Every structure is written in C-alpha cells, then in structure tokens.
Structure 1
Amino acid sequence: MALGAAGDSSDVVWLKDLAGEPRDATMINCALGDAIVRLGHSQSTADEPVMWCQRQSIDLLDEGAQRATALLKLVPRDPTVNELISKAESRLWDPEHPHDLLGLWVVIAAAGWRGERVDVFLDRCLYDRRDEVAKAASEAQQGRYMKMSYL
C-alpha cells in the first residue's frame, strides 16, 4: 500500500505483473489492488484499473481496488458503476458466503455515485442483516462516505 501512496503511475505495469503471481500471503493482493487503482486512475479514467482488478477474479485484489475507489471518492462511468454493483450484489447476498464483505467498499463508494441503479442498490443494502452494510448504505444515501479501517 505504501507503493500506492508514494509510487509513480509507471509502476502500474509492474504491479499488474506482480498481481498475477501466485502467493501464500494473499493479503498482499488487497494492497496490490489498492495500489493499482491509486496509481492507475491518474493515467486513465477510474474505470480501467478497478475493472482490470475485478476481471482477474482474485477476491482480495478486487477488494483492494474497491477500497481505493471508495477512499479516493472516485466516480466511474455508469457502465463501470453497474458492473461494480452487480459484483457487490452477487457477493453481499451469496448464501455460500454469509459473512463476505467484498461488496462493502462498493456500498461506501456509492456515496459519490448517482442514478437509479445506485438508488435501488443502496435501498436494498439498508435492510442488510450486517450492521456495517446497512450503516454504509444509510451514509451513502446522504452523500457521506462511511469511515472504515484500511485493513
């Protein structure tokens, strides 16, 4: 994560290569996703780096990218917002993963997003059984980004 905060956008290619390597310390993937979005959004739209991370199908890489999107208050284009919400919905309400919070960062990021799809998503999240999801949705509906731990 330090690289994402202090690195250069030219490091994104190297970070993407690193993200594709298998590892035992999977939490590193979260930091890589965060760094790829932090450094990558400055050289392109917010859409490309966050969607690149999602397409890799590595949960923690995707979570790190979503977290950076929320913390940086990035506003992707509508097609990307729709994809992020779809993925968040599939994970938040997957009965196989009842405690999965992969989509929580999307709920938080939605504070800066607009549109009917966002409104419907946040309305549904208000009634989630997990307090942090419901609280994040309530805050997002008021345009406020809920504060969360970085890790």
Structure 2
Amino acid sequence: MLDEIISQLKDKKSTKRRSAAKKLRKLKSIDAGSYLLIALEEEIKDSRTWETQYQMIMALGESNFKPALSFLKSLVKHNFEATMIYVAIGDSIQRLSMQNEQDITSVFEAIKTGNDMLVSGAIRAMAMLKIVPDDDSIENIINYAIVQKKNDGINFWILAAAPGWSGQKVQEYLGYCSTSKRDEIINAVELARKNKYKKWFPL
C-alpha cells in the first residue's frame, strides 16, 4: 500500500499527487519522507499547485522526517503568492525542530521574520502537539499575541494550546480573548478554562 501511494507522488496530475500527500500525512510513515522531499522539491517549481505543496509540507512534518528541516527552512524566504504555504512551513518546522517536548524555539524564530502566516503555523503545531512550554515562553507568546491586537488566527491557536497551561498571565489572556465577538474564539477560551484539549482537524 505504501509503495502505491509513494508512486502516486509522481503522477502527472496535481490532484493525484495531492491525494497521495494527504494519505501519507495520515499514515505518518517516516519511510515515505525521502520520496516526499524529492516530490516537494519538484512541486515547488509550479506556483499553480500550491495546495499540493501545502499537503506535501504537512506530510513531511507529521511524518517526523527530520532530514527535510533544512529545505523547509530555506522556503521561509521564498516568495509564495499562496501564503497558506507559510502556515504549513511554520507547522512542519516546529514539529521537526523540537529538541525536547517543551521546545518552541521555532515559534520565536518565526516571530522574528514578521510573517504572521509562518507564526500561525508554528503556533498551530504547538497546539496540535499539546506542548506546554516553560513559563517564560508562555508569557512571551502571550505578550506577542496581545501586541498583534485582534489577530484571530493566532489567538485561536494559542487558545487551542492553552488548556495545559497555567498561571496568572494565562488567566489574564483568557479574559482578554473572552471579549471577542467570534464564536470559535469564545469556544476555545471556554475549553482552555476547563483544561480540555479538543482534537482539531486543520487543513
């Protein structure tokens, strides 16, 4: 089955290649990593297939194929018209760069770039992986989010990560976000206050 999916990465149709990447993303097979990386290096040449590129990048991260890290980091400076690709890059770099279960160095590296989509991806991975950073890191992330004012995308994923967090700063942040008029933000605040993680299914 794995061999069939891998061979599909070379299909002439982008929809077929994208379907293969989605399947590999679900399988999380590190054995497919080198084939995914080769496919992505070719796919990245065609800006029209950004959705396929997105899925390949996500599959590399979720497969924990660490040899892809340097290539993904090189894409940070690439000029993508479809900015959703940066979300996938940020997400996968966070997954592949972790040195321990609290490591969110890549989140702060993303913040330094000023690319909100990259930051959103890194924070999304933090939420999906239920990472509980150290207190200083939590405070720095919250401070960053507040400076961004009402960036609902970033606030949402910080809230999705927050059920395992504690402390006065976290409670103040939840209060800050509770004034939002968006239902998904309010629901995420309520889950965080109850210390309940939800299983999210991002694109």
TM-score of the aligned structures, taking structure 2 as reference length: 0.66
Q: TM-score, normalised by structure 1?
A: 0.86
- For 1:25 and 1:19, the matched residues in 2 are separated by 13
**Where do residues 23-34 of structure 1 align in structure 2 (5 Å cutoff)?**
23-34=80-91
Cross-structure match for 1:133: 185
Is the aligned partner of 1:37 residue 2:89?
no
Query: Which residue, out of 48, 67, 80, partners 2:124?
Result: 67
Change in Cα spacing, 1:71 to 1:92, as seen in structure 2 (3 Å) is: farther
Which one of the candidate residues 8, 15, 18 is aligned to 2:75? 18
Q: Percent identity?
A: 34
Could you tell me which residue of structure 2 aligns to residue 82 of structure 1? Answer: 139
Whether the 8 Å CA contact 1:34–1:67 is kept in 2: the answer is yes
1:10/1:78 CA distance change after superposition, 3 Å: farther
More helix by share: 2
Query: Which structure: larger Rg?
Result: 2
CA contact (8 A) 2:61 2:92 kept: yes
Amino acid in structure 2 at the alignment position of 1:114: S
Letter in 1 for 2:107: V
User: Does the Cα contact within 8 Å between 2:130 and 2:161 map onto a contact in 1?
Assistant: yes
Task: State the structure with bigger RCO (CA 8 A, min sep 6), 1 or 2.
Answer: 1
Deviations 1:28-72 (A, max 9, x none): 100000000111114684221221112111111110001000000
For structure 2, the residue ranges without an aligned partner over 5 or more in a row are 1-57
